[in-house]
Amino acid sequence: MQTSEKGLDLIRKHEGLVLSAYLCPGKKLTIGYGHTGPDVKSGQKIDVEEANALLQKDVQRFEHAVNELVTAPMTQGMFDALISFSFNLGAGSLKGSTLLKKLNADDRAAAANEFLKWNKANGKVLAGLTKRRECERELFLA
């Protein structure tokens, strides 16, 4: 499966667009729509076109991971929600999660509720993460 425009919009909305490198709440150097990695340098600036290219590249990596990890049938909304989740937390978080275990056991309702547990950064509940997880859960159930 591939991420729909609705899934990309969810990521864009919750990541926001920042064209200069900054430290995110998770203490990672970030640019564009939540892009992190060794290519992000302090003081770096990009334009909107570069931000969209980085988003597409990042999303492809998570599409591969979600397609590999999920063995249960998925709707487009479920897939998009899992891409947003993985984009924000990393595919490793999805891989070891109860969310994935419940989804692969075809317990969709229980899997959906697992999104809400992932609303902390550095041990603190963040309102932005709480809202993002609620939106992901809603899309997952759509």
| Structure tokens belonging to residue 72 | 């249960």
Rounded to whole angstroms, what are the CA distances from 67 to 18, 39, 60, 80, 109?
Answer: 29, 26, 11, 11, 20
5 is catalytic: no
- Look at domain 5-141 and name its CATH class: mainly alpha
Whether residue 132 is predicted with pLDDT greater than 80 in this model: the reply is yes
Instruction: Tell me the three state secondary structure of residue 32.
Output: strand
Q: Is 33 exposed, middle or buried (0-12, 13-18, 19+ CB in 10 A)?
A: buried
Taking residues 12-27, what's their average pLDDT?
Answer: 91
Q: Give the model's pLDDT for residue 73.
A: 96
Whether residue 26 is predicted with pLDDT greater than 80 in this model: the reply is no
Taking residues 66-78, what's their average pLDDT?
Answer: 98
Which residue among the candidates 15, 63, 114, 136 is catalytic per the annotation? Answer: 15
Taking residues 135-140, what's their average pLDDT?
Answer: 98
Q: Give the model's pLDDT for residue 107.
A: 97
Residues contacting 26, CB < 8 A, separation 6+: 121, 122
Q: How many CB atoms lie within 10 A of CB 8?
A: 19
- Where on the phi/psi map is residue 32: left (φ > 0), alpha (ψ -120 to 50), or beta? left
Q: How far is CA 42 from the centre of its chain?
A: 23
Question: What is the tens place of the pLDDT at every residue in 75-108?
Answer: 999 999 999 999 999 999 999 999 999 999 999 9
Would you list the domain boundaries of the chain? Answer: 5-141
- Which candidate, 9, 86, 14, 22, places its Cα nearest to that of 52? 9
